[in-house]
Amino acid sequence: MWIDAAATIDEVEKTFYIETFGCQMNAHDSEKVVGTLVHEGYAQVESPDQANYIFFNTCSIRDKAEQKVFNRLQHFKNSGKGKVVAVIGCVAQQEGEKIFERAPHVSLVAGSASYTKLPEMLVQLEKGNRRVTGLSLDTELTFDTPFTRRDNPHRGWITVIEGCDKSCAYCVVPFTRGPERSRTGASVIEEATRLAGLGYTEIQLLGQNVNSYRDPSPAGWDFATLLDQVGRVPGIRRVRFTTSHPRDFVKPIIDAIEGNANLCNHVHLPVQSGSSRVLEAMQRLYTREQYMERIQWMREAKRPIAMTSDIIVGFPGETERDFEETLDLLEEVKYDSIFSFKYSRRPNTAALELGDQITEEEKTRRLTIVQERQRAIQMRQNAELLGEEEELLVESWYESTGQWVGRTTRNRTLSFTSGMPDLLGKYVRVRVMRAGPNSLTGEIIH
């Protein structure tokens, strides 16, 4: 949004800029923050120089993510003079008022459970309060707003559950996002219907652990029912969800996918480690065998379901043998893709107390091996797609290469050239002609 030349001084002063770090939950939270602030009369601007309020929506999942935020804040120590600098999101919740000590130019610190109170907090600053915080992990409130400003005109994110009740030994999320709170099924359907009316055809349901979704209304839908119902909203052609915890991933979810063609053929089911011993130390609440049982359900489905995962290497006490078990699991499952990370020590987490930390050097070695192994698997998997016909939702256009890029139901991106005008948001059929480990190229089928 641009500022009208005729705007009053008051209006001009209410400009904000927002920068987002972290996961899709955070990116979607920013969409809600933007919508709420715009509704309150603030104008979004595209660079920090033009803004009176600078927001950093932050991530603290690994130390590196957190350091990035503090480096960025440092940059605004001088250039942020005369502006309000606000830290929101996971680092805000985790570090709280300590942020004011580390970065004295920050005036507002608020976690995700306090976003509904943001306009109020800004008013307090406008009244002259030097520092304002919103750090309660209010279990009653979810940030459910009709004002969301979505960045993508075709694929709409919808939060169905906030927070996390698990206590994985490495993870900050239960501390940064609080306990689980589900939205009513009716409000999710209402939002999906509204999005369909605006021309959205793909919905992505979000939560730290969507599988433990439970409708708090008397309808009492579980996640499989919610998924199926969203897939039945007229106008919606694709439904995805993220992220799943294997412990709560039940067979009815696969049954829902099989029974409803609008539910995408893709499940992200983070395993973290292939060793039951490490899984126990991580407090993941499942064994390798129980995880593989869930993979088997997906393999038995009538439609080919793409499977992706997250892997952590170098968790305290992970032996060479445990690590080999992770490599072996990669070969056994043959994921379509994975995100892999070096274990990072996080404040408040149970794993902080564990001895037998793995050196940084060794973690790097293991990460490289995991990534090489997975690359070879993807190379083989993608080669099998040669000649296949895929339906794509076209998501972007790259002027420099003259290529369109779209996504398949199995969450693969595929690029292709076409003389056809404006394909953005359209569904097209493409034949796969070339395959690399991370990319597919095709030709449009007329």
Contact between 142 and ligand SF4 per CB under 6 A: no
143 to 162: interface string for ligand SF4, x by CB under 6 A: --------------------
Nearer to ligand SF4 (CB atom), residue 210 or residue 428:
210
Contact between 110 and ligand SF4 per CB under 6 A: no
Asked whether the beta carbons of 249 and 217 are under 8 A apart, the reply is no
Binding ligand 5AD (rule: CB under 6 A), the pick from 83, 245, 294, 346 is 346
Asked whether the beta carbons of 103 and 128 are under 8 A apart, the reply is no
Contact between 30 and ligand SF4 per CB under 6 A: no
Binding ligand SF4 (rule: CB under 6 A), the pick from 15, 16, 25, 246 is 25
Asked whether the beta carbons of 312 and 170 are under 8 A apart, the reply is yes
CB-facing half-sphere around the CA of 377: CA atoms within 13 A: 20
How many helices (H) does the chain have, and how many strands (E)? Answer: 14, 19
CB-facing half-sphere around the CA of 338: CA atoms within 13 A: 29
Phi/psi-derived region of residue 314, left when phi > 0, alpha when psi is between -120 and 50, beta in every other case: left
User: In whole angstroms, how close is the CB of 177 to ligand SF4 at the nearest point?
Assistant: 6
Binding ligand SF4 (rule: CB under 6 A), the pick from 22, 270, 274, 442 is 22
Written as one letter, the residue type at 394 is: V
Contact between 242 and ligand 5AD per CB under 6 A: no
Nearer to ligand SF4 (CB atom), residue 16 or residue 56:
56
Nearer to ligand 5AD (CB atom), residue 58 or residue 344:
344
Sequence-separated (6 or more) residues with CB below 8 Å from residue 435: 379, 382, 383, 385, 386, 441
Binding ligand 5AD (rule: CB under 6 A), the pick from 80, 163, 246, 270 is 270
174 to 193: interface string for ligand SF4, x by CB under 6 A: --xx----------------
Q: Which stretch binds ligand 5AD (CB under 6 A): 42-50, 93-101, 340-348, 356-364?
A: 340-348
CB-facing half-sphere around the CA of 341: CA atoms within 13 A: 18
Nearer to ligand SF4 (CB atom), residue 80 or residue 174:
174
Asked whether the beta carbons of 169 and 283 are under 8 A apart, the reply is yes
Other CB atoms within 10 Å distance of the CB of residue 144 = 17
Contact between 274 and ligand 5AD per CB under 6 A: no
Query: Measured in Å, how far apart are the chain's first and last C-alpha atoms?
Result: 38
Contact between 240 and ligand 5AD per CB under 6 A: no
Q: Which residues bind ligand 5AD (CB under 6 A)?
A: 61-62, 170-171, 270, 272, 310, 312, 341, 343-344, 346
Q: Which residues bind ligand SF4 (CB under 6 A)?
A: 22-23, 25-26, 59-61, 89-90, 172-173, 176-177
